[in-house]
Chain A
Amino acid sequence: MSKHEHQPHELQVRDLHAHYGKICALHDLSFTATCHRGVALVGPNGGGKSTLLKAIAGLVAHDSGEILWQGEPVGRRRWEIAYLPQREELDWNFPITVEGLVEMGRYPHVGLMGRFSQQDREAVDAALEYVAMQDLRHRHISQLSGGQQQRAFLARALAQQPHVFLLDEPFTGLDHEARERLHILLKGLTEQGSLLIASHHDLNTLKQGFDDVLVVNQSKLAFGPVEELADQVQGLLEGAVMS
């Protein structure tokens, strides 16, 4: 899908501190993730998973620390990072079709008044093809199943042609078949060179869908390859809840 020749780019999070008012959401959080990897972001509710994704996307101001993508602050290369919020927050009556939604992914490239070029059209078509939704391109977003909706939003992110995908609870509300299909699509993205970070609850599918796991409860509890950490995650989460 991606047209970029990928080097092993790094996303570095160093000593991150973030607050919501007086409440500490994240502290002393550091990790480095690289391209070609799918990172499962795991932690208890209220543990700071969504805040971390928003901080990387530039939506939450952090008090201290830094977030670097390819050695530069993430704010300088915004379009290289695609953020997919939770689907529950959306207005499903918004007048837009699947195609219109995916075209939104090209807005950062096209600019305010620029016309859609052949390259933009091809990016939209390729994104729709990747998620197998060409036949549904003229359908309104409210007329899609949960799995189709998630794939449509993934296509919007793909059309942006980013290097990093940040997904907040992408599997929530999907049935088994839709989850399996989404796992395959996300796996394909990392194989093609993207870095993917997704908040995730289902510990049974960690090995199936991800390469690394980052366990967070305001600060980093563990980070490393899924193969090494998968068996420890349950214990870490239970310990986090108890504390």
Chain B
Amino acid sequence: MSWQEIINSPFFWRALTIAMIIGFANGCLSCHVVLRKSSLVVGAYAHGTLPGIATAVLLGGVTMINVFVGAAASALLIGLGSVWLVRHSRVDHHSALALMWTAGAAIGLFIIDRTGATQELEGWMFGYILTISDQDLWTSFIVSSLTLIIVVVLQRPLLLMHFEPDVAASVGVPVKFLHYLLVTLFVLALVSSLQAVGAILATATLVLPALTMTQVADSPRKVFWGGGLIGGGVAGLAIVLSHLISVRPGALIVVLLALVFGMAVVFGPKYGILHRLRHGAHRHC
């Protein structure tokens, strides 16, 4: 497409807006995913949406609300099911998650064969941002705003909990409640990202922005807001580029996020590989 065609396309502006909203919100939230060491957990939730989406489509057809409810229920079921398994067996949390989401994905595949809606389902798993409606835009905006407000208000107790859960609990932070709240917010963020980047690729938007910031910043506040700026900026850039070179926008968002992360690892001003090679890695004593 030419620049003129892109600028005159209402699909482009809608896609750009929703990508930047979701990119910013997920980028901010990624601070808590990374500091809580929940990257793999979020990946498992993302894969766990498949059977829910497939079941919802089988029962009610491909509508946005069906997909949202199915994905959220399925991811929550896998999250809570893995916690139940850990408490009632000798299985560790990561193994329990691996078991739950692989079993869920397998069941999802059986259901997909029944639905015959393979192409639509692929859109939900890997994103199809150009078909976004005004209603989708508002849904994502509301979910993203709500998520952001909650994590901004609870920033201090959340950080205490990530860093020293025992100390947090000793000064009265309700760590169990906050843990379940965060799980719910992670699932909500995943579900609100379904149409933009898809369930699978959404994991990257919930991990890579903050992971990039941890390579260059020494303050949780910078990781939080910097993650948001990287997430929103990269998503916007990816939408523009995807129109110019005709590639999947969701996949391009993830590739660009990975590139930015790689640059931070190599060129980071304080902890980057080049900096350490130049100045020598040393501990101050």
Q: Which residues of A contact B (CB under 8 A)?
A: 54, 57-59, 78-79, 81-85, 89-91, 93-97, 100, 104, 107-108, 110, 112-113, 139-140, 142-145, 160
Contacts and interface: CB of A to CB of B under 8 A. Distances in A.
B285 interface: yes
Interface stretch (B114-122, B155-163, B178-186): B155-163
A112 B153 contact: yes
19 contacts: A54-B166, A57-B170, A78-B171, A79-B171, A79-B172, A85-B166, A93-B214, A94-B35, A95-B214, A95-B223, A97-B218, A107-B157, A108-B172, A112-B156, A112-B157, A113-B153, A142-B283, A143-B284, A145-B284
Contacts of B157: 107, 112
A143 B279 CA distance: 15
Interface string B129-172: 00000000000000000000000011011011011101101111
Nearest to A143: B284
A123 B219 CA distance: 20
A58 B218 contact: no
Interface of B: 35, 37, 153-154, 156-157, 159-160, 162-164, 166-167, 169-172, 213-214, 217-220, 222-223, 283-285
Nearest to A97: B218
Contacts of A89: 166
A145 B214 contact: no
Given A83-B166, A139-B284, A95 B156 contact: no
A112 B2 CA distance: 49
Contacts of A139: 284
A59 B223 CA distance: 29
Contacts of B214: 93, 95
Contacts of B156: 107, 110, 112
Nearest to B210: A95
B160 A104 contact: yes
B170 A78 contact: yes
A36 B255 CA distance: 60
Contacts of B160: 104, 107
Contacts of B172: 78-79, 108
Contacts of B163: 90-91, 94, 96, 104
Given A82-B170, A144-B284, 17 more contacts: A57-B170, A59-B169, A79-B172, A81-B170, A89-B166, A90-B163, A93-B214, A94-B162, A95-B223, A100-B220, A107-B156, A110-B156, A112-B157, A140-B218, A142-B283, A143-B283, A145-B285
A113 B157 CA distance: 11
Nearest to B169: A59
A96 B170 contact: no
B208 to A, nearest CB: 15
B87 to A, nearest CB: 12
Contacts of A91: 37, 163
A59 B283 contact: no
Contact of A104 (B35, B159, B213, B222): B159
A58 B169 contact: yes
User: Counting chain B CB atoms within 10 Å of each CB, which of A84, A90, A107, A160 scores highest?
Assistant: A107
Contacts of B217: 95
A145 to B, nearest CB: 4
A85 B164 contact: yes
Nearest to A142: B283
Contacts of A113: 153
Given A90-B164, A107-B157, A110-B156, A95 B171 contact: no
User: Counting chain B CB atoms within 10 Å of each CB, which of A54, A79, A95, A139 scores highest?
Assistant: A95
Contacts of A59: 166, 169-170
Contacts of A110: 156
Nearest to A111: B156
Nearest to B154: A112
A230 B213 CA distance: 51
Nearest to B34: A95
A160 B219 CA distance: 20
A95 B218 contact: yes
B277 to A, nearest CB: 18
B170 A145 contact: no
A83 B170 contact: yes
A89 B285 CA distance: 21
A91 to B, nearest CB: 7
A125 B156 CA distance: 20
A108 B235 CA distance: 37
A57 B213 CA distance: 34
B153 A108 contact: no
Contacts of A93: 214
Contacts of B223: 95
Contacts of A142: 283
Top 3 nearest A-B pairs (CB, nearest first) are: A57-B170, A83-B170, A145-B285
Contacts of B218: 95-97, 100, 140
Nearest to A74: B170
